[in-house]
Structure 1
Amino acid sequence: MLRITDLRLPLRHAEDALRPAILERLGIIDAALKGFSVFKRSYDARKKTAIVLIYTLDCELADEAAVFARLAGDPHIRPTPDTNYRLVAQAPADWPHERRPLVVGFGPCGLFAALILAQMGLRPIVLERGKEVRQRTKDTWGLWRQGVLDPESNVQFGEGGAGTFSDGKLWSQISDPRHLTRKVLAEFVKAGAPEEILFVSKPHIGTFRLVSMIEKMRADIEALGGEIRFRQHVSDVLIEGREGSRHVRGVVLASGEQLRADHVVLALGHSARDTFTMLHERGVFMEAKPFSIGYRIEHPQSLIDAARFGSNAGHPILGAADYKLVHHASNGRSVYSFCMCPGGTVVAATSEPERVVTNGMSQYSRNERNANAGIVVGIGPQDYRQDGRSDGPVSPLDGMAFQRLWESRAYVMGGGGYQAPGQLVGDFIKGQHSSAFGNVLPSYKPGVHLTDLHEPDAAGRASLPAYALAAIREALPAFERQIKGFSLPDAVLTGVETRTSSPLRITRGRNLQSLNVAGLYPAGEGAGYAGGIMSAAVDGIEVAEALGADLLGRAVATA
Structure 2
Amino acid sequence: MIQINELRLPIDHVPQALEQAILHRLQLAPEELIRFEIFKRSVDARKNVELTLTYTVHVSVKDESAVLSKWSFDPQVRPAPDTRYHFVAKAPELFDQRPVVIGFGPCGLFAALVLAQMGFKPIVLERGKAVRERTQDTWGLWRRNTLNPESNVQFGEGGAGLFSDGKLYSQIKDPQFLGRKVIAEFIKAGAPAEIQYVAKPHIGTFRLVGVVEKMREEIIALGGEVRFSSKVTEFLINNGQLEGLKLEDGQTIATQRAILALGHSSRDTFTALHQAKVYLEQKPFSVGFRIEHPQSIIDRARLGPHAGNPIVGAADYKLVHHAKNGRSVYSFCMCPGGTVVAATSEPNRVVTNGMSQYSRNERNANAAIVVGISPEDYPGGPLAGIEFQRDLESKAFIMGGSNYEAPGSLVGDFLKGQVSQEFRSVLPSYKPGVHLTDLTQALPHYAIEAIQEAIPHFDKKIAGFSMNDAIFTGVETRTSAPLRITRGLDFQSLNVRGLYPAGEGAGYAGGILSAGVDGIKVAQAVAIDMMQNVSN
User: What range describes the TM-score normalised by the shorter chain of this pair?
Assistant: over 0.9
User: Which amino acid in structure 2 is aligned with residue 168 of structure 1?
Assistant: G
Which secondary structure does the structure 1 equivalent of 2:165 belong to?
A: coil
Q: Partners of 1:304 and 1:15 in 2: how far apart? A: 30
Q: Partners of 1:47 and 1:411 in 2: how far apart? A: 42
Tell me which residue corresponds to 2:357. Answer: 363
Count of equivalent residues? 536
User: Which amino acid in structure 2 is aligned with residue 476 of structure 1?
Assistant: I
User: Which amino acid in structure 1 is aligned with residue 86 of structure 2?
Assistant: R
Match for residue 409 of structure 1 among 386, 395, 400 = 395
Q: Partners of 1:101 and 1:133 in 2: how far apart? A: 23
Tell me which residue corresponds to 1:484. Answer: 463
Match for residue 322 of structure 1 among 307, 316, 320 = 316
Tell me which residue corresponds to 1:193. Answer: 191
User: Which amino acid in structure 2 is aligned with residue 192 of structure 1?
Assistant: G
Tell me which residue corresponds to 1:440. Answer: 426
> What do residues 176-224 of structure 1 show as CA deviations (whole Å, max 9, x unaligned)?
1111001011111110001011111111111111111111111100001
Match for residue 530 of structure 1 among 509, 515, 519 = 509
Is 1:113 matched with 2:111?
A: yes
Shift of 1:48: 4.3
Is 1:259 matched with 2:238?
A: no
Tell me which residue corresponds to 1:418. Answer: 404
Q: Partners of 2:225 and 2:395 in 1: how far apart? A: 41
User: Which amino acid in structure 2 is aligned with residue 127 of structure 1?
Assistant: L
Q: Partners of 1:58 and 1:240 in 2: how far apart? A: 52
Q: Partners of 2:62 and 2:276 in 1: how far apart? A: 63
Q: Partners of 2:212 and 2:516 in 1: how far apart? A: 13
Q: Partners of 1:17 and 1:422 in 2: how far apart? A: 50
User: Which amino acid in structure 1 is aligned with residue 413 of structure 2?
Assistant: D
Which secondary structure does the structure 2 equivalent of 1:525 belong to?
A: helix
Shift of 1:247: 0.3
TM normalised by structure 2 equals 0.98
User: Which amino acid in structure 1 is aligned with residue 311 of structure 2?
Assistant: I
Shift of 1:75: 1.6
Shift of 1:452: 1.5
Shift of 1:319: 1.1
Is 1:240 matched with 2:226?
A: no
User: Which amino acid in structure 1 is aligned with residue 154 of structure 2?
Assistant: Q
Asked if 1 retains the 8 angstrom alpha-carbon contact of 2:47 and 2:306, the reply is: no
Tell me which residue corresponds to 1:340. Answer: 334
Q: Partners of 1:218 and 1:12 in 2: how far apart? A: 39
Q: Partners of 2:252 and 2:299 in 1: how far apart? A: 54
Q: Partners of 1:552 and 1:34 in 2: how far apart? A: 40
Equivalent residue runs for 1:511-522 within 5 Å: 511-522=490-501
Q: Partners of 2:217 and 2:20 in 1: how far apart? A: 44
Asked if 1 retains the 8 angstrom alpha-carbon contact of 2:291 and 2:367, the reply is: yes
Q: Partners of 2:475 and 2:268 in 1: how far apart? A: 21
Asked if 2 retains the 8 angstrom alpha-carbon contact of 1:149 and 1:353, the reply is: yes
Shift of 1:478: 0.5
Structure 2, unaligned runs of 5 or more: none
> What do residues 428-466 of structure 1 show as CA deviations (whole Å, max 9, x unaligned)?
111111011111000000000011112xxxxxxx20011
Asked if 2 retains the 8 angstrom alpha-carbon contact of 1:48 and 1:309, the reply is: no
Shift of 1:313: 1.6
Range with bigger deviation, 124-133 or 34-43: 34-43
Tell me which residue corresponds to 2:30. Answer: 30
Q: Partners of 2:442 and 2:282 in 1: how far apart? A: 23
Shift of 1:100: 1.5
Q: Partners of 2:501 and 2:455 in 1: how far apart? A: 37
Asked if 1 retains the 8 angstrom alpha-carbon contact of 2:331 and 2:369, the reply is: yes
**1:48/1:251 Cα in 2 relative to 1: closer, same or farther (>3 Å)?**
farther
Tell me which residue corresponds to 1:473. Answer: 452
Shift of 1:412: 0.8
Q: Partners of 2:290 and 2:394 in 1: how far apart? A: 17
Shift of 1:255: 1.1
Is 1:277 matched with 2:271?
A: yes
User: Which amino acid in structure 2 is aligned with residue 54 of structure 1?
Assistant: T
Asked if 2 retains the 8 angstrom alpha-carbon contact of 1:440 and 1:491, the reply is: yes
> What do residues 490-518 of structure 1 show as CA deviations (whole Å, max 9, x unaligned)?
00000000000010000001410000000
Is 1:206 matched with 2:192?
A: no
Q: Partners of 1:9 and 1:430 in 2: how far apart? A: 48
Tell me which residue corresponds to 1:85. Answer: 85
Shift of 1:66: 2.0
Asked if 1 retains the 8 angstrom alpha-carbon contact of 2:47 and 2:305, the reply is: no
> What do residues 3-61 of structure 1 show as CA deviations (whole Å, max 9, x unaligned)?
10122223333443222322232233333333222111012333344233211011122
User: Which amino acid in structure 1 is aligned with residue 260 of structure 2?
Assistant: L
Q: Partners of 2:436 and 2:371 in 1: how far apart? A: 22
Which secondary structure does the structure 1 equivalent of 2:439 belong to?
A: coil
Asked if 1 retains the 8 angstrom alpha-carbon contact of 2:47 and 2:302, the reply is: no
User: Which amino acid in structure 2 is aligned with residue 179 of structure 1?
Assistant: F
User: Which amino acid in structure 1 is aligned with residue 39 of structure 2?
Assistant: F
Asked if 2 retains the 8 angstrom alpha-carbon contact of 1:11 and 1:53, the reply is: yes
Q: Partners of 1:537 and 1:61 in 2: how far apart? A: 34
Is 1:395 matched with 2:381?
A: yes
Let me know the Cα RMSD of the aligned residues: 1.1
Which secondary structure does the structure 1 equivalent of 2:119 belong to?
A: coil
Q: Partners of 1:205 and 1:410 in 2: how far apart? A: 31
Equivalent residue runs for 1:296-311 within 5 Å: 296-311=290-305
Q: Partners of 2:259 and 2:503 in 1: how far apart? A: 10
Q: Partners of 1:292 and 1:6 in 2: how far apart? A: 37
Which secondary structure does the structure 2 equivalent of 1:160 belong to?
A: coil
**1:485/1:49 Cα in 2 relative to 1: closer, same or farther (>3 Å)?**
farther
Which secondary structure does the structure 1 equivalent of 2:318 belong to?
A: coil
Tell me which residue corresponds to 1:21. Answer: 21
Q: Partners of 1:430 and 1:452 in 2: how far apart? A: 10
Q: Partners of 1:48 and 1:493 in 2: how far apart? A: 32
Q: Partners of 1:29 and 1:190 in 2: how far apart? A: 34
Match for residue 133 of structure 1 among 131, 134, 155 = 131
Structure 1, unaligned runs of 5 or more: 386-393, 455-461
User: Which amino acid in structure 1 is aligned with residue 306 of structure 2?
Assistant: N
Range with bigger deviation, 351-360 or 36-45: 36-45
Shift of 1:67: 1.9
Q: Partners of 2:10 and 2:454 in 1: how far apart? A: 34
Q: Partners of 2:454 and 2:400 in 1: how far apart? A: 24
> What do residues 60-109 of structure 1 show as CA deviations (whole Å, max 9, x unaligned)?
223222221121132211111111111100011132x2x41111100001
Asked if 1 retains the 8 angstrom alpha-carbon contact of 2:45 and 2:306, the reply is: no
Is 1:505 matched with 2:499?
A: no
Asked if 2 retains the 8 angstrom alpha-carbon contact of 1:293 and 1:497, the reply is: yes
Tell me which residue corresponds to 1:102. Answer: 100
